[in-house]
Amino acid sequence: MAEHIVDLESWPRAAQFRFFRTYDRPHYATTVRMDVSHLMQLRKGQGVNVYRACLYAIGAGLHGVPELCMRFRGDRVVRHDGVALSMTVPTQAGAFNYAYVPFDADFSVFDTQCKALIDAAAQATDLGANSGQRDDVAYLSCMPWLDYTSINNALPGPDDCIPRVSWGKIVPRGDSWDMAMTLEVHHALVDGAQVGAYFAGVQGALHGV
């Protein structure tokens, strides 16, 4: 995927970018309850894999908000056309490896490729961690054991601007189902309006799979 340099002279958020780049703790996390009733119905009726459908919806939400595909390198900002979804994959030994899945707007294409790459990561002998060689990624982690109310992530420092997405246990609410989902971002690149747009995009994708 191509990347494009953001012109800071014309970018409306340039002042906010420079301001929040000075912070020692520039990250913030927002947790929202997501309605997954449609997915649970598809799981029963069509055998849709709920986990991979959630990955797809997260990818749709990320790619629907340009700022979530932006990264800074020093004082320069770039926007990626697309980012890979990097999720933790459990191994038989009780640890985990990382998979890297490109997003495709076609769910069937994404689902097939996602399954193959996750299966390969589960069998890999190497952790596959990103040591900083690429920033065209978003980090994803599912916590299916917990119906949590808030969460944040381990971060190496204030210059890490890669978004993190977490989501928790799917729980019944009468005739519906929902789950917690958290987006953690760097304030130099992302404001509340973009966070809201992300969750709206994810919810739309969850209803449209």
Write down the pLDDT at residue 99.
Answer: 97
Contact status, residue 133 vs residue 144, Cβ threshold 8 Å? no
Strand pairing report for 76-80 and 70-73: antiparallel
Residue carrying the six token digits 């961690």 = 129
Write down the pLDDT at residue 208.
Answer: 86
Ramachandran category for residue 74: left, alpha or beta (phi over 0 → left; psi -120 to 50 → alpha):
left
Write down the pLDDT at residue 46.
Answer: 85
**Mind listing the pLDDT tens digit for each residue in 86-133?**
999 999 888 999 999 999 999 999 999 999 999 999 999 899 999 889
- Sorted by where each starts, the structural domains of the chain and their CATH numbers stand as 3-208 (3.30.559.10)
Write down the pLDDT at residue 112.
Answer: 97
pLDDT per residue rounded down to tens, the chain (209 residues): 799 999 999 999 999 999 999 999 999 999 999 999 999 988 877 889 999 999 999 999 999 999 999 999 999 999 999 999 999 999 988 899 999 999 999 999 999 999 999 999 999 989 999 988 999 999 999 999 999 999 999 999 999 999 999 999 999 999 999 999 999 999 999 999 999 999 999 999 999 88
By CB atoms closer than 10 A (0-12, 13-18, 19+), residue 24 is: exposed
CA–CA separation, 179 and 59 (whole Å): 17
Write down the pLDDT at residue 47.
Answer: 84
